[in-house]
Copies of this chain bind each other. A is one copy, B any other.
Amino acid sequence: MSRITAWGVTGIGEVRPGDQVGELVAAACAAEPNGPLADHDVVVVTQKIVSKAEGRLVEVDPDDPVSHKRIVEDEAVRVLRRRGDLIVTETRHGFVCANSGVDLSNVERGWAALLPVDADRSARRIRDIVAARLGARVGVVISDTFGRAWRLGLTDVAIGVAGVAGVVDLRGTPDALGRTMHVTEVCVADELASTAELVMGKASGIPVAIVRGAPVEWFRESSIAEIIRPAQEDLFR
């Protein structure tokens, strides 16, 4: 029977520009009480440390909201909505999110973290280093915390993937009553990110979690493009 276990990886420490996240993850996981990583584990890494390691930091005047706003607009290809301090934008990656994903929390005062330029690439690099150091073929999800148009509270979603599916297509598989299902494409990468968030916790400073037990058939080449709804299919932009 399927069973999923998730735990936060401690001991990553403060991440600095130039660090290789894959090396930090491999070292921290090798020292984990849960034992080293295994094939088909999913390593979920929060965007924040990926952005820091990749030097995606810009100066911001913490006492001047306009300074933050300018950075948000620079990161956007389109501003969709504004209300008060909130700006909902489309980023150049195609994400629709608050503030272009620009984040001031868990970053030193005076700095803002931008989204990685290509989080799929970041994820592949982590996957490859983990494979080289620990001999484990893992999936990697880079996660970020997004709001939703019609629901309160934030959840973690995937912004980059490597080695594990973004969306799993169950269309055409019979449902439990033997009827062919209409549309059930499940965004397992987002669900893996949400699972990881439950053990990371925003205030606890744990930037990496492992999810063990995902079905073997989810592990394959993948891209965040599986998850980004094309603008022309969007009913709400």
Interface residues in A191-237 (C-beta closer than 8 Å to B): 191-192, 194-195, 197-199, 201-205, 213-215, 226-229, 234-237
A106 near B: Cβ within 8 Å? Answer: yes
> Is the beta-carbon distance between A150 and B96 smaller than 8 angstroms?
yes
> Whose C-beta in chain B lies nearest to the C-beta of A191?
B194
Chain B residues within 8 Å of A1, by CB? 7-8, 10, 33
A59 to chain B minimum Cβ distance, whole angstroms, is 16
Interface size classification for chain A: 35 or more
> Whose C-beta in chain B lies nearest to the C-beta of A218?
B198
A199-B236 in contact given A184-B105, A229-B152 (Cβ < 8 Å): no
Number of copies: 2
> Is the beta-carbon distance between A194 and B155 smaller than 8 angstroms?
yes
Instruction: Given A1-B33, A191-B194, output 9 extra A-B contacts at Cβ < 8 Å.
Output: A105-B179, A108-B177, A109-B179, A148-B148, A148-B229, A149-B149, A153-B227, A155-B191, A176-B205
Chain A contact residues, CB within 8 Å of chain B: 1-8, 10, 33, 81, 83, 88, 95-96, 104-109, 145, 148-157, 166-168, 170, 173-177, 179, 181-188, 190-192, 194-195, 197-199, 201-205, 213-215, 226-229, 234-237
A172 to chain B minimum Cβ distance, whole angstroms, is 10
> Is the beta-carbon distance between B187 and A153 smaller than 8 angstroms?
yes
Chain B residues within 8 Å of A188, by CB? 153, 198
> Is the beta-carbon distance between B2 and A3 smaller than 8 angstroms?
no
Chain B residues within 8 Å of A106, by CB? 175-177, 179
Chain B residues within 8 Å of A205, by CB? 175-176
